[in-house]
Structure 1
Amino acid sequence: MLKRLNTIRYTYIRSHLYGLFLNTVTLLAILLSVYVVFEPVWLSAISIFVFVISYVLIGFIFSFYVGFKSSGDMKDRMDYLSVLITQLSRGNYSSRVYFNEDDEIARIGNELNELGEKLKSQVKSLQRMADEKSEYAKSAHKAAAIEERQRLARDLHDAISQQLFALTMMTQATLRILEKDPVLAKSQLEDISSTALKAQTEMRALLLHLRPVDLSGEPLISGIHKLVEELKQKCPIEFHLQLEEIDGISQSTEEHLFRIVQESLSNTLRHANASEVSIEITRSKKELFVHVGDNGQGFDLETDERKKTSYGLKTMKERCEELGGTFAIRTNKGEGTHIDIRIPL
């Protein structure tokens, strides 16, 4: 309620009521002065009281009506500006607003139109640079492959190797106490099973990175379908796909989006412990919308610094920004993780 009282419409009404108050005080002061000084017969205390009350009641009604009507045009124009800013923030840089008036609000609208035009030009430049970068990336494919192999080797050493070493130690310890303490041995076997499952999941995520970086000339939707079918055979995860064929996007854009989806699924396999994953690719007016979500354990984006600075999340965001798009992640502990990407077309 208090928030509504701070809107433009109620600001206009308050200004009219303030003017009514000042006029009433001034008029009352004049009438009382005339009554005290001249004491005319036609002017009495009762008539002053009746006149002032009538003036206040009628003025109150007119203040509300005039304030409400006069603020309508201003409110509509401010709403237009708000909608334009929202559209620009969502990547719809073709939105425009036009006013017939020649005042400050019209000037702000023209400046926002110019901002949208500049952003649109910058997005085109970014996408052109992304195409050029894709060509350079192909020529540097060998160096990138070597770097990727080194990173995978580090991951294998840091994760899989340590887990396999732990499995070996735990297995040897279980064998020694199997006959002496079967209950403790059973508990350790459960830990071994859990560690083995974790190592298996980690290995699947690493193997996912060994897939080709590009789509090898096939469409984006086809590449994602093949990727999901491959994962279905290896992982107990249910996939929900809503993939719309998008025409008119460049090959480099498709490769960037495929790599983002691939990185998202890799993060889900390694960290989410999810049973369901949804992938959505649709076109809305002049933008491409990509959503990848899961029902996993999620994490606290505000407090988990390790996740905020994650190599995978950082890479996905950089790829999205190279296309002039917006990258947003929604997650919380126990509520899964959802990644939303919008790319202007």
Structure 2
Amino acid sequence: MAATPRSPAPRPLTPVSRVLRLCLHALVFGLLALAAGRAVTDSAPRAGWVVAACAVVAAVYAAGVRTPAVHRSPRAAAVWLAGLGAAWTALLVVSPDGLWIAFPLYFLELHLLRLRWGITAVAVTACAAIGGFVAHADGGAVSPGAFLGPLLGGAVAVATVLGYQALYRESERRRELIEELIATRAELAAAERDAGILAERERLAREIHDTLAQGLSSIQLLLRAAERSLPQDAPALEHIGRARGAAQENLAEARRFVRALTPPDLEHGSLAAALERLCAAAPGPRVRFCLSGAPRVLPTPYEVALLRIAQSALANVVRHARADRAEITLTFMDASVTLDVVDDGTGFDPSSAPSGEGGFGLPAMRSRAETLGGLFTVESSPGQGAAVAVTLPLPLEASR
């Protein structure tokens, strides 16, 4: 039977800084030196064994510190801590001063092992320290401090490490939040820049269409009327014909400018095709597009206004309505064109919707419709979905 692959063990949660590591190393070696020095200066019966045990603990500790795998792998750290614990137990057997090493061991176990195993190792280490102290009492009275000291030391170590981990996680969350805010600000600036560019393109397209193109069309009509009113052999006919040709060329150039300034969504097809692509690409609810009536070629400002209103209304459905279905309907009638955006979402009270961004962009949609002489309406109530409708009167050339 094949063994189940194990997921890689996570790295320790609390990366100790270089200064704290140096302090921990200094504490371990200092306590070992103190234990060995006391055994020699006090002429303890087993002073040689104490010095040897201290040397073994120091060697095992130094080997683990110099081994990169101990800091990367919890398994390697567990093996090293087991060896270090065995050497420390030997020191504890020959000298009660080995009890001092228990406190730095607590921090090592909590730092290198997973929290559950780290706390278990701290409990075992505290019990071993208490047992060693009691064994060296030689039947004498044992004070409560022999029990409270290792237990309180372990509790302090656990509380310190847990507090550090909580602070570290909070710091990481703040760092991620700051990075997300910076990225969002950059995206917002780019979106505002793009929106400004598109708005300026739309404004220029409207201005060219409503002023220059219309003026050239009027000039051409006047020249045609003048041409018809003159006799066939009038010398001015040649100049009128040239003027008509120049007006026609400039009108075509103006229309090319308008097409070049058209939003990208309208560059490669009609308004109906752009709306159909908008519905297909919408995330969240299922959006259907319906076309009613015989499609006509609309002036660019009309197409831009209807497309922008549809985009804004559908964005509201996706972000706020929590709807399952939505429908966009474009209806061509004899003298008008109507756009309806309907959803089955939570709905809202239009009379209480605030202006600006909090009003879901309704003022901007209304302004677009009214600029072209249209009518903008919103029908909704809480729990009953929403319907947005805009009706634009068709210009004479588009209604024919």
Q: Provide the TM-score with structure 1 as the length reference.
A: 0.36
| TM-score, normalisation: structure 2 | 0.31
Asked which structure has the greater RCO (Cα within 8 Å, sep 6+), the reply is 1
Question: Bigger radius of gyration, 1 or 2?
Answer: 2
